[in-house]
Amino acid sequence: MSVLISCLVSCLTAVAAMAETAPAPLGPEDEALCPAEISSELFDALIGWIAINTSYDVSQTYRSPPEIFFCDTGAIVPYDEGELLVDTMLDAVFDLRRRRVYLVFPWSPDDDFDVSVLLHELIHDVQHINRDWDCIGEPELEAYWLQDKWLSEKGLVSNFNWLAILQLSTCPKSE
Ligand SMILES: [Zn+2]
């Protein structure tokens, strides 16, 4: 137990020691977006949780966070090389190309499920910085598994459809 505790403390200390950097300025395509104000306390807590609960190096995500925006259901947002319609099925989206998180309104830092959605998208940033993935869906199983773990630590049940998530995470067989 003491070994575990010292690991946790050193991880947290390492995360706390990292510097913050200013986000990149917005381009013309971003004018309609609403930058999300995420407190540094919440961001630090989520990054610290990822550091403790995975073997990934979170330093790049911590020092240079992805951009985080709010958007409404029905909005069309820049995504990868094109645009994405934010349909009613989406709680959030991670645009790997821009390292950008879109959180769909309504979203509140006081709602643990909403916070877990932000955690999920930050996990995607960490996942892609740390390793290559065979297809865009492959990181989902781990991201949902970690989100479920975070929720269960809050006493909440995710009710995720694990069969659908497993299918989403399974890359198409290459020819
Ligand atoms: Zn995801």
Q: Across the strands, what pairs with 82?
A: 79
- The answer to whether 103 and 118 are in contact (CB under 8 A) is yes
The Cα angle at residue 133 between residues 153 and 98, in degrees rounded to 5: 85
Query: What is the SS3 assignment for 11?
Result: helix
Q: 142 alpha carbon to ligand 1 midpoint, in Å?
A: 9
Residue 10 in domain: yes
Query: What DSSP designation does 134 have?
Result: S
Residue 152 in domain: yes
CA dist., res. 58 & res. 38, Å (int): 18
What is the per-residue pLDDT across 137-175, written as a single tens digit (0 to 9) for each?
Answer: 999 999 999 999 999 999 999 999 999 999 999 999 875
Q: 16 alpha carbon to ligand 1 midpoint, in Å?
A: 26
Residue 125 in domain: yes
Q: 6 alpha carbon to ligand 1 midpoint, in Å?
A: 31
What is the per-residue pLDDT across 115-126, written as a single tens digit (0 to 9) for each?
Answer: 999 999 999 999
Q: 174 alpha carbon to ligand 1 midpoint, in Å?
A: 22
What is the per-residue pLDDT across 80-135, written as a single tens digit (0 to 9) for each?
Answer: 999 999 999 999 999 999 999 999 999 999 999 999 999 999 999 999 999 999 99
Domain range for 116 is 2-27+39-65+107-169
What is the per-residue pLDDT across 5-29, written as a single tens digit (0 to 9) for each?
Answer: 333 333 233 333 333 444 444 555 5
Q: 143 alpha carbon to ligand 1 midpoint, in Å?
A: 6
Report the pLDDT value the prediction gives residue 35, as an integer from 0 to 100: 87
Residue 76 in domain: no
Report the pLDDT value the prediction gives residue 32, as an integer from 0 to 100: 57
For the chain, the domain total comes to 1
Residue 140 in domain: yes
Q: 59 alpha carbon to ligand 1 midpoint, in Å?
A: 20
Q: 144 alpha carbon to ligand 1 midpoint, in Å?
A: 7
Q: 2 alpha carbon to ligand 1 midpoint, in Å?
A: 34
Q: State the residue for tokens 């995500």.
A: 61
Residue 59 in domain: yes
Q: Across the strands, what pairs with 68?
A: 101
Structure tokens at 156: 């909440």
Residue 11 in domain: yes
Reported as a pLDDT band with limits 50, 70 and 90, residue 31 is: low
CA dist., res. 15 & res. 12, Å (int): 5
Give the N- to C-terminal CA distance of the chain in Å, as an integer: 48
Q: 101 alpha carbon to ligand 1 midpoint, in Å?
A: 11
CA dist., res. 68 & res. 22, Å (int): 13
Q: 18 alpha carbon to ligand 1 midpoint, in Å?
A: 26
Reported as a pLDDT band with limits 50, 70 and 90, residue 2 is: very low
The rounded percent of the chain whose pLDDT value lies above 70 is 81
Residue 102 in domain: no
Report the pLDDT value the prediction gives residue 34, as an integer from 0 to 100: 85
